[in-house]
Structure 1
């Protein structure tokens, strides 16, 4: 029939145009969500909090992270969500209109872990956040992912227990800000980069004209040599005993992490809100896959105290490989009947046992299993995997 082929081409073009229009609408909705979250974050106290927006997702060429926030509560990797319908967290599961939304939770965990690895931070300091654009209160935990709305985002951030203060906060902020990169093709403080910084101005004064670089280097070498000689003659004999006393004090204060072998039970002393625990890493097994190594850790946790134990996100299990990289459990894996971050409930004398799976690069070997306790991650136990 005359004109039939042309009509078919027109039909395909209209379908393509409709798909492009839908895609553009999704991108615009996403951009509006990022802007709404940025507006909410502007209410954070500027003296303590730093916000970095629209940065590259470490290790993913075409993905970005909406916002990274550094403050006393730790580092928060925020994914802005502009979803429609009813959003809620039921039994640690994120739902939209009653349907599971596991990929969003997994993506939030992956983004936080990527930032922690990039900045060489303890994963317990880096928290994934899903922030939904809406004017009503939304709060909960989908396993280790904080779920909130633009209405209460700032409230949830500032109410988190203090994990970073003083030099630790300054150092962490510097490591995160310098390691992140803006999305390709963007620069400055508009859509990407550091939105707000804290502390003293970073502008350095213009150096005065004077000696040449070689003259200055020679002068500093002389000062360093004199200082070293003075230290060896006068400082070392009196400092050595004090160093020994200091190290002994640190050990007796319990600040040195406990280390055990696989299969060995470790007693974790009671804390202010936690009874004494007896924890055992029973077994660690690796299975080579095509592009990764699946590491399964079998654990046992026993309430060895006299009162009940109710855990929360402060209880974390991680695996470190032979190169020092740290990995969180694979999103969606169930341990002890539910994910550890969702919380354990143990009566006095009760114990529970389960497994966690970690996905490591194919050429990496598990070296340590780490248990982290405390809101600030200040209590750790390590089990050695390698000799």
Structure 2
């Protein structure tokens, strides 16, 4: 075999190098002899190498995990944030703490469900040819304190003449509208029967901390009183959606949790049992493609910012009116302001002497151009305060003292 091997190597050398062939052949043979040398020596060397590699790996790991992190020069390196500092460093979004605090859906319902109520309203609507008729509505709400204040949507109580609160066990009691923010579709109502015990209250969370994909639960009264306390589950589908509702654009949370008529005003709840939204609308693409799994909720932080303002009762004047702008002022030969169309019977406006046909020019010392000008003054006063009102009547201005009431 050796001769054949040498001959193959020899045959590859050119004729001009024949003189060097013996030396080349000897070197190859020597190499072969070394490979065929003592088997024990080769194995011993390999064993020593393996042992050295294992020892260095173990020592390196011990140094990295337990020794190096304690040296200050190492703590500022990127490697420390990944290994040595794992006990204290936060690297990327994790949810281990949230998971420990998470509740099951059953636990959420047991904790929050008793604080969710149905809101039943009756209002008078003008049916045109059929005249004035009574209309009933149903929505949802949730109790936020021991005083019996309840958050809901404005569109749930809009135009309501009477308000009934329905507890989770079916018990009904009276309520009243305290105040509302029509622009943001938020309203605050309150239990009026002092003998009624508040069954439970909710905890308000922080909607600014929400992430897409978080689990949420909705509780409400879809489709009527028969389904009070209905629970549905889903996720936060998107944040900060611009959604047109009743001619206004609201910035809402999007969820695939089932939201149906009657759910409006009910709570959207995170996995810790905190209310993070007020369910307000279901996407309605009427006339084109039917869409499911797209609902919207008002971020609870928007409502929290309004609570102080909403807790003050609505102060009423007792009039119906319309704005006279610059164009109408020229055409009607009347000053700009609020034209009094009607004065409610037995209202404080009637008692103060305000009459139909008056134009309100000043309210509380401020010029009046819109209803917002009047409302901004009322927001800084309380029930029983007296306001100076300047009206234009029969070609001259008159000053009237008006007492504000709920």
Judge same fold: TM > 0.5, yes or no. Answer: no
Give me the TM-score of the superposition, normalised by structure 2: 0.26
The TM-score, its normalising length taken from structure 1, stands at 0.26
Higher gyration radius (CA): 2
Structure with bigger RCO (C-alpha 8 Å, 6+ apart): 1
